[in-house]
Amino acid sequence: GSDDIIAGNVSKYIVLPAGYCGQPRKGHLVFDACFESGNLGRVDHVTEFEYDLFIRPDTCNPRFRVWFNFTVENVKESQ
C-alpha cells in the first residue's frame, strides 16, 4: 500500500507500461534519485502521461514530505 515505508531511492528506474515487452523506447521515462538529497522512493505507471510518485520522508523528520529532488530522462516531444 501507499503507507509502506520506502527505504531507498529509485536509481535509473525505467517505467514501462503494464504488459510491455522489449527494449525501452523514447517516451518510456527513466527516473533517478540516486544522488545526495534525492528522495524519490517509488514510481507507478498510470497512463502514458500520468505517474504516481512516492517521495521518501525527510531523514530528520519522517512526518513531512515538503520537497522533492529527482531527475527524469527519455521524454518524447509533447509528453
Query: What's the structural domain count of the chain?
Result: 1
Radius of gyration of the chain (CA): 13
Does 2 reside within a domain?
no
Does 1 reside within a domain?
no
Burial of 60 per CB tally in 10 Å (0-12, 13-18, 19+): exposed
Q: Answer whether residue 72 shows pLDDT above 80.
A: yes
pLDDT tens digits, one per residue of 9-43: 889 999 998 899 999 999 999 999 988 778 899 99
**Domain range for 54:** 8-18+26-78
Does 3 reside within a domain?
no
* pLDDT for residue 52: 95
